[in-house]
Amino acid sequence: MYNSFLISEVFIKTFFYSVKFEIEKESVVMLNFIASINELFWGAILILLLVGTGIFYTIKLKFVQVRKFKKGVSQLTGNFNINGKDADHNGMSSFQALATAIAAQVGTGNLAGAATAIVSGGPGAIFWMWVSAFFGMATIYAEAILSQLFKKKVEGEITGGPAYYIEELFNKNFLSKILAVFFALSCILALGFMGNGVQANSIGEAMKNAFNISPYITGVVVALLGGFVFFGGVKRIASFTEKVVPLMAGLYILICFVIIIINYANIIKAFEAIFVNAFSTKSILGGFLGMGVKKAIRYGVARGLFSNEAGMGSTPHAHAIAKVKNPVEQGNVALITVFIDTFIVLTLTALVILTSNIGDGTLTGITLTQKAFEAALGYSGTIFIAIALFFFAFSTIIGWYFFGEANIKYLFGKKAINVYRILVMIAIFIGSTQKVELVWELADLFNGLMVIPNLIALIVLYKLVDNTSSEYDKLHL
């Protein structure tokens, strides 16, 4: 009898471990497959499409990012208010929309993305990051105008985003509806679920490394905090972003300046490395090698686009519900978001890393950024990055949740929002506690997929953007 139980136990354990091994093996196969698709997708195809669209709009709109920059800054500073009027069913203020967009843009990519670009593409990658952002400013200007033009009231609430202007293509035929639904589903999966799981994972790791807090505790706390904001609706989301984003970005910028001043001896060399290594492999800073023009362009452009999200169709959901008199007014503000994300926050992170000159070829991502801050500020630098990462990632969770919600309304109406809120909270908890390499890759894939219908709409509707912009300019410039 005992032997039969023993044999049964051995059989069950053997079966269990064989099944577990097969699942893990299948996961690795899927991970490698998705990663190879992303390598092709993000390595060449999307970079050419996104930058190409930016160049197209830059030419068509006569360098709008230069012409409208001063106007955009003026509108931003004029509307700045961390205690603005509550957002309601008619939308939110222009500044609240900008803050919500920046909340999504300025995330973990600003801390880890610059480091990854420098290690993989050399210091010259930062130059190409600037180039992609320059053209991206024109793209996001067009996205904001279209999202304003085609915003709608759904069950008593103003909403909008790419799905609403994509369905206007080709005389609203069947293909346009398919593209709009495809975009909406991709956005919900990429940002609302997978993307937020990844952001939560970054928070979980940072809290564990800095304070030895269990990822399970972090997961519960972040999910509950997120739920508190989610269930407060657009009013609470707008109130959160308008207060947290300026304070978060302002403090981070200040600390970066302090570190760069501490490392003042390497400032000139850092800029020299950025410009020289954009076109050569010559070593300017001993710790960071030039990787060649091809890699500098590839990693600089890719990380820049992934950070500022221009052309990806995410931030138009926030710009769509801004309370402005003319769609162009929100376009003017929208192009400033890319400038803040890439030319300020991402650039300062890169300068902190380069002036620290601690690269040894083994450090990358958030670890390299953390070490650069630590080199100047000691252990307090590690603590600061952990706290900054929490606020950057959590603000991105709020922004991405909101973008997903807009597409839930598009597909299912308001009745499905509470279910969506609960599912996002679950995704946050799971993301905080689990290894998410496959989820990272899937998020990248769906991010890429949502770009395609958005860019099709941007190209097809360019005359509408051009005419709207020109008519406004005749009256206001």
pLDDT at 2: 47
3 state SS of 248: helix
- CA 471 from chain centre, in angstroms, equals 32
Residue 295's nearest CA partner among 35, 33, 47, 109 is 47
pLDDT at 302: 74
Within 10 Å of residue 399's Cβ, how many Cβ atoms? 32
DSSP 158: E
The burial class, CB within 10 Å (0-12 / 13-18 / 19+), for 464 is middle
The burial class, CB within 10 Å (0-12 / 13-18 / 19+), for 269 is middle
Q: What pTM was computed for the model? A: 0.87
The burial class, CB within 10 Å (0-12 / 13-18 / 19+), for 52 is middle
Contact assessment for residue 364 and residue 115, using Cβ atoms and an 8 Å cutoff? yes
For 29-84, the DSSP string reads HHHHHHHHHHHHIIIIIHHHHHHHHHHHHHHHTTSHHHHTHHHHHHHHHHH--TT-
Residue 72's nearest CA partner among 137, 130, 131, 136 is 137
The shares of helix, strand and coil residues in the chain, as percent rounded to the nearest 5, are 80, 5, 15
pLDDT at 223: 96
pLDDT at 41: 73
Contact assessment for residue 142 and residue 150, using Cβ atoms and an 8 Å cutoff? no
376 vs 358: CA distance, rounded Å: 11
Kindly list the distances between the CA atom of residue 160 and the CA atoms of 42, 102, 322, 419, 472, in Å, as whole numbers in the listed order.
27, 17, 10, 20, 21
Contact assessment for residue 395 and residue 245, using Cβ atoms and an 8 Å cutoff? yes
Q: What do you get for the CA distance between the two ends of the chain, in Å?
A: 93
Q: Give the H or E element holding residue 459.
A: helix 437-460
pLDDT tens per residue, the chain (477 residues)?
545 545 544 444 444 444 444 444 556 777 788 877 777 777 678 888 888 999 999 999 999 999 999 998 888 876 666 666 666 667 788 888 888 888 888 877 778 778 878 887 888 889 988 998 999 999 999 999 999 999 998 888 889 999 999 998 878 888 999 999 999 999 999 889 988 988 888 888 888 878 889 999 999 999 999 999 999 988 888 888 888 888 888 999 999 999 999 999 999 999 998 998 888 766 555 445 445 667 777 777 777 777 788 888 999 999 999 988 999 999 999 999 999 999 999 999 999 999 987 766 676 677 788 888 988 998 888 889 888 889 988 999 999 999 999 999 999 998 999 999 999 999 999 988 876 667 667 777 877 888 899 999 999 999 999 999 999 988 876
For residue 88, the cross-strand partners are 91
Q: What does residue 213 show for φ and ψ, rounded to 5 degrees?
A: -90, 135
Report the CATH fold assignment for 43-475: Amino acid/polyamine transporter I (1.20.1740)
69 vs 425: CA distance, rounded Å: 38
CB under 8 Å to 157, separation ≥6 — which residues? 89, 234, 409, 414
The burial class, CB within 10 Å (0-12 / 13-18 / 19+), for 103 is buried
Contact assessment for residue 292 and residue 120, using Cβ atoms and an 8 Å cutoff? no
